[in-house]
Amino acid sequence: MLDTLKKNPKFAGRRGPVVLLIMDGVGLGKYPDGDAVKAAYTPELDKLLKSCPNTSLKAHGTAVGMPSDDDMGNSEVGHNAIGCGRVFAQGAKLVDDAVTGKAVFAGETWKKLIANVMEHNSTLHFIGLFSDGNVHSNIAHLRAMIEEAKSRNVKKVRIHILLDGRDVPETSALEYVEPFEAFLAAQNCGGFDYRIASGGGRMVITMDRYGANWDMVRKGWETHVQGKGRYFKNAVEAITELRISSKAIDQDLPPFVISDDGVNPVGPIVDHDSVIFYNFRGDRAQEITNAFEDDNFEHFDRGCRPDVVYAGMMEYDGDLHVPKLFLVEPPVIDRTVGEFLCANGIKQLAISETQKFGHVTYFYNGNRAGKFNQDLEEYIEIKSDIVPFEQRPWMKSAEITDTVCTAIESGKYRFIRLNLPNGDMVGHTGNFAAVITAMGAVDLSVGRIAEAVRDAGGVLVISADHGNADDMFEHSKDGSIKLDKNGVATRKTSHSLNPVPCIVFDPESKGEYKNELRPGLGISSLGATCIELLGLEPPEDYDPSLLIMQ
């Protein structure tokens, strides 16, 4: 049980709630071309930026616990940083250190996986996102594990690749597959048999999250485990032909299975095999993990579930201990904002739609699935539509806003946190026009919530977890737009490295703090800022508040 926070002698708080509004994927772009945030009609945000204290916050790289400042931020690490008020080394860095330092290969889980295939003369399988985006996975970790498996004399390896095109350029799959096929060919001497066995786009198979679309997981299960699907001779052929037939970018390519004879798949998962899901990020890893591990699984018919040794790259849920076996210990995140507020008896509401519900709950609370206090916390999930995001770029912003405004008016909550996913989820489609509409929807929500906060005498803190919608075109080092062979701007579907905005709207301010925010900080400082606005003193080890008290 945490000690309570002390009252802030310089600021007693307001009569209304503190509302933290996360505009997911909305950064401050550095290029005028391709910045859908600047291109959109956002009169409410523009008004607040002109009239309220505001600044920019770091939201990528070491500022959110990633290995280097070349690494994009993402919603997982962003909400971790916002919710725990300081920076922890995240999955990408922890796994990279464990793999490069070879500590992972000395662990009991790795030894068990290898011993299983050696005992049964069976297959070692790898499933995961096939890129170096370093958001969910890194292909470098896969290469290192394959090399280590060969050094342990594992004769048969099969890789099931989830094509990215979301954290990396949208049609870059062959840039990863072709050199990887050459890498595998180099391993295949002296009786070793290492091959790609299946694959498909990450937004079509396997990597669903928050139960939004279990049919994705079913398709992945049939593809990877059962070897069912459209057959191709190799992954290059599959990607090339599926791009033509589906006209889809990598993340949306249909599933495929590799077969030499057009009848038998080269790598179904069968009894006594070992399986590693090598994504380190947990949200899109949990459902396929459940399909492998749950005895009472009801989401789709798995057929005959193979008896395998299954492990994740990390523990994806520390409360439920999913998966049972994992290769690298996750970060231990404690003493979060939510836990401190519960210790102080502060009633809280967390709300988003399905696509980001886990971010304002699980990730915000330091990778904790449950509540700290059932009486003081309420979580509301607005069910997301199962349609391509560019077809509904407004998503559920209106429904989220309806609920938040009602909650503000009710007076029940002292702290409300919400996530509007539009800038991120629509930004990942690469559809510039759709993102313009998405930002318009976000702006309407900002205006409505600001009005409700004004009427209630509260404070609204507006920020983001990372950039995306602010950088929709690929740029060269000199800042020019990269053009495709037809002279059209190359779309960018990944997150940006840009900072994000922070605005404090405090209509009943009495000058307790300066009309400017402390510069040079990261999104982890939002934790201390919200605590101060609630009239409390932040913990001493939290990153500094953005407020400069008078």
List the catalytic residues: 75
Report how far residue 344's alpha carbon sits from residue 526's, in angstroms, rounded to the nearest whole number: 18
Report how far residue 381's alpha carbon sits from residue 13's, in angstroms, rounded to the nearest whole number: 28
Partners of 221 in the β-ladder? none
Do 15 and 508 form a contact (C-beta atoms < 8 A)? yes
Report how far residue 346's alpha carbon sits from residue 146's, in angstroms, rounded to the nearest whole number: 50
Q: What element of type H or E holds 327?
A: strand 326-328
Pairing of strands 500-505, 459-463: antiparallel
Report how far residue 281's alpha carbon sits from residue 297's, in angstroms, rounded to the nearest whole number: 22
Report how far residue 85's alpha carbon sits from residue 540's, in angstroms, rounded to the nearest whole number: 11
Do 117 and 124 form a contact (C-beta atoms < 8 A)? yes
Alpha helices per DSSP H over 56-107: 75-84, 91-100
Q: What's at 360, amino acid-wise?
A: V
Report how far residue 58's alpha carbon sits from residue 40's, in angstroms, rounded to the nearest whole number: 23
Report how far residue 421's alpha carbon sits from residue 418's, in angstroms, rounded to the nearest whole number: 10
CB atoms within 10 A of CB 155: 17
Tokens of 87: 């920076």
